[in-house]
Structure 1
Amino acid sequence: MRGDMRGDMDEDEDGHGGMREDGHEDVGGAGPRPGGPARIPPPRASVEDTGLPLPAPAAASGPAPLVLEHRVLKSLLGAWALAACSADETSAVEEHLGHCGPCADEALRLREAVGLLHPAESLDLDPTLRTRVLTSCLDRRPPRIPVPEWAAPYDAETARLDALLQDIGGSEWHAPVRLRWFEGEGPVSRRTTVAGVIAHLLSVDGLVAVALGLDDPLGEPDAERATPQDRTEAYWRASRVPPTRSVRGPWREQSHGIVRSVSFVEEGAPPAGGVAGGEASGRLTVAYGGFDLPLSDSMLDRAFECWVHAGDIADAVDYPYEPPAPRHLHRMIDLAARMLPVSLAERRRAGLSDHPPRRLVTAGAPGRSLRLEIEGSGGGEWLIPLDSPGAVGSAEHEVAHVALDGVEFCRLAAGHVSPEEAAAGQDGDREVIRDVLLAVASLSRI
């Protein structure tokens, strides 16, 4: 077979292909001639060497950018500021703003105006929402036994705190919380956890429960002689392990029981397991170990502390928390203002005041006074008698004037800011003002 094929080929004496009849060298299948030059293909001709025009580049994918006149782009600035332009118009406007200074200035002004027309709205619920919804419902269908007005702040603040506790996770119950208050001349603090704070509220609210004839959560036979701090320390010590989220149930049940009981007390009807009917709230007092408060004032005191410690918990778990409703905040501020003369007298008795009263004022008589002006939500004005707790504040004997924001005043009364840090407008006797601000801070306790 191979011999026949070779016989059909025109070969030279070396067996290599020679010249074909058409005059071209036959290279079919044969490599370069041994000892001869390498057979390299010649370079390809470049289109630049031909003198012909270069081919046009391939068209870019996608539609061409929108080209608009200046007057059209300027008319689109308002729609652009409102984010109402199409994608092509937005690209054209933003491209134009990069090299047109007047339009860029106008666009900035329009965007700022849109921000004023549409302020950012918080996703958190309005803290007054519950109060407004309940008020609307109760206006349509009044309850048979309503919650008294002086107990409404406690009812609202315990409900708000319970909603916060509902939202936090299991591990957050052990988040560290630092309780802060003011003693003598300086701040004091105590470290606990979120669960420990609820245990503290459960212990101190128990004083109100005992006054109403309800069970004491601590089971103390002499609960009325124990101070809030003593009861809290006793509860913490009695726990073999640190308080956990299980403390929420007893606290919640106790707060509901207190609200139900005070409602029956106001109506003169006996609640199950509570005080006998016919006892008016004005004759009931709550013992705090060293002093007594009327039941109505005690409920305000417990509402105030519930709000303050709810804020402590919210800070610990990074949760937004707003002040109480203005009418509730006003009642809390009013209680603090009414307690200020007693706080001033106690500081003088303890030797903590360098500014003794200039003269003794009999009960009910006007004396030197400080005008306390509370601005903002829940604000108002109070004349604080300075010489004795039984004296009456008098504008004619005003010696100083202090102006404070309502929330800032409450933070001072809670011991969360020092008198020096409280942002206050001051006018008049500086020593009197200092004594009063220290007395406000001395209202705080654990």
Structure 2
Amino acid sequence: MSGPDAPNGQDPHEPDGSSGPPRVPPPRPAAEDGAWPPDPAPLPPPRPENPGPPAPRSGRPVPPGTAPPGLAPLNAGPVPHGYSHGLLKSLLGAWALAACSAEETAAVEAHLTDCTGCADEALRLRDAVGLLHPEDGLDLDPMLRSEVLEGCLSRRPARIPVPEWATPYDAETARLDALLHDLAEAEWRAPVRLRWFDGLRHAERTTTVGGVLGHLSVVDGTVAATLGLPDPLHPDAVRPDAGPSARTDPTARTEASWHTEPVDRRARGRWRDQRHALIRTVSFGGDRTPGLPVPYGDFSLPMRDAFLDRAFECWVHAGDIADAIDYPYGPPAAPHLWRMLDLAARLLPVSLAARRRAGLASPARTLGAAGAPGRSLHLEVEGPGGGDWYVPLDSPGAAGSPEHAVAHVALDGLEFCQLAAGHVAPEEAAAGHDGDREAVRDVLFAAASLSRM
């Protein structure tokens, strides 16, 4: 604004008091494009330390308690050296967009602590910027880690690469470790609910974040012991009268660990060291390692499948922790999710046979002459990582085929994972199906029975 008696539109209160048209600063480049201000347009000179009251114009005195036109309001605090109030106010828009240089940002923020008018305007501008640019989530795309590693390895292949069948475990443990890194002290004591299906009904157990890590560590310990690494479970933790398979049974190991080992924040360090040792050992293990049998109580899995099982459980329990602290947690990358789904589909005949021995599933049948292939069920999993599997219904060692399919079940991939984790009841699984209803029911219950604590 110009004063009423200023010749040629000059503001009488500009610091230099010079004549001529008012100075308009040139367009300012972004902070990252170069220095500011440009050399041809230096900042205006600083105000005098004690300029005193401005001289009245045309003999009209300045009313007490007001400021002449063009000057800062009386509630404006001191301005940083080298910056006028008007210049700082003109920078508020750039400051709200985070486009100021470091020097300008410091000057503006120092001024905002003393000038209520500019502080109010800065808040309005910052709110407007928030409407224009909604904040993005802090979580990274699950595929980002794989894409970065793939890009790096394409330029310089690893001398000792991680086996492809171990990459889901490597990725899921890394994601859980990143989640744990950001936990506050109180969140480590948050109650975490573990859920599974015991073959007849849903079961659950409440522990803490440290308890979950203790559980993951001791079950990973069966893999570690197979590879010749130290077993985190104390040799005397499991009672001798618990049975020959109790030493390798995941539930028995977990219960024994919770009674003998601390389950506080220190569990993260032990778990991290163990997972690093597992990845490093299988990377150097050679061709024999993938087929090593890993005991799981009454059954065993080859090492390559045991790593997929551990990756799946790590993802499931990371989701349990995230639910306990109200934090979003996404699914694995699609290629890793497909491997986990494939393992679950391959284990369905074994689970179904176990339920049949316990009298919980319909009896096996045969088609045609003795020795002919039995029935199959077409399992269609939709979404990322999905695919088609033909599950043999009558013999775990048989191969399923489309020709002998008597039923068809279609599920979303994440829904099937929740079913296999015991988080969804078989009767409540959102599955489309047709064909033999008894076969459909048996397979859904067999999928839920894959879960454990």
TM-score normalized by structure 1?
0.68
Shift of 1:224: 8.1
Residue 176 (structure 2) aligned to one of 161, 170, 182? 161
Judge conservation of contact 1:176–1:192 (CA < 8 Å) in 2. Answer: yes
Unaligned runs of 5+ in 2: 1-132, 237-243
CA distance in 1 between counterparts of 2:395 and 2:436 reads 17
The residue correspondences of 1:417-428 to structure 2 (distance < 5 A) are 417-428=424-435
CA 195–374 in structure 1, closer or farther in 2 if over 3 Å, else same:
same
Q: Is it true that 1:264 corresponds to 2:272 in the alignment?
A: no
Show the counterpart of 1:81: none
Shift of 1:119: 9.6
| Superposed CA offset, 1:14-62 (max 9, x none) | xxxxxxxxxxxxxxxxxxxxxxxxxxxxxxxxxxxxxxxxxxxxxxxxx
The residue correspondences of 1:302-341 to structure 2 (distance < 5 A) are 302-341=310-349
Show the counterpart of 2:375: 368
Show the counterpart of 2:385: 378
Show the counterpart of 1:291: 299
The Cα RMSD (Å) is 2.3
The residue correspondences of 1:123-142 to structure 2 (distance < 5 A) are 123-142=138-157
| Superposed CA offset, 1:319-366 (max 9, x none) | 11100000000000000000000111000001111x211238999953
SS in 2 for 1:245: coil
Residue 249 (structure 1) aligned to one of 262, 269, 273? 269
Judge conservation of contact 2:199–2:448 (CA < 8 Å) in 1. Answer: no
The residue correspondences of 1:142-157 to structure 2 (distance < 5 A) are 142-157=157-172
Show the counterpart of 2:17: none
| Superposed CA offset, 1:375-423 (max 9, x none) | 0010000000101101111111111000001011000000001011111
The structure that has the greater radius of gyration is 1
Unaligned runs of 5+ in 1: 1-117, 269-279
CA distance in 2 between counterparts of 1:228 and 1:156 reads 22
CA 295–236 in structure 1, closer or farther in 2 if over 3 Å, else same:
same
Q: Is it true that 1:430 corresponds to 2:430 in the alignment?
A: no
Judge conservation of contact 1:225–1:287 (CA < 8 Å) in 2. Answer: no
Residue 393 (structure 1) aligned to one of 400, 413, 422? 400
Judge conservation of contact 1:153–1:300 (CA < 8 Å) in 2. Answer: yes
SS in 2 for 1:128: helix
TM-score normalized by structure 2?
0.67
CA distance in 2 between counterparts of 1:224 and 1:297 reads 21
Judge conservation of contact 1:361–1:387 (CA < 8 Å) in 2. Answer: no
Judge conservation of contact 1:196–1:243 (CA < 8 Å) in 2. Answer: yes
| Superposed CA offset, 1:275-322 (max 9, x none) | xxxxx1243110111111000000000000000000000010111110
Judge conservation of contact 1:209–1:216 (CA < 8 Å) in 2. Answer: yes
CA 361–164 in structure 1, closer or farther in 2 if over 3 Å, else same:
farther
Show the counterpart of 1:226: 248
SS in 1 for 2:266: helix
Judge conservation of contact 1:367–1:394 (CA < 8 Å) in 2. Answer: no
CA 385–119 in structure 1, closer or farther in 2 if over 3 Å, else same:
farther
Q: Is it true that 1:192 corresponds to 2:221 in the alignment?
A: no
Judge conservation of contact 1:173–1:195 (CA < 8 Å) in 2. Answer: yes
Shift of 1:371: 0.3
Identity within the alignment, %: 67
The alignment of Structure 1 onto Structure 2 pairs a total of residues equal to 316
The residue correspondences of 1:204-215 to structure 2 (distance < 5 A) are 204-215=219-230
Shift of 1:244: 0.7
Shift of 1:430: 0.9
Show the counterpart of 1:441: 448
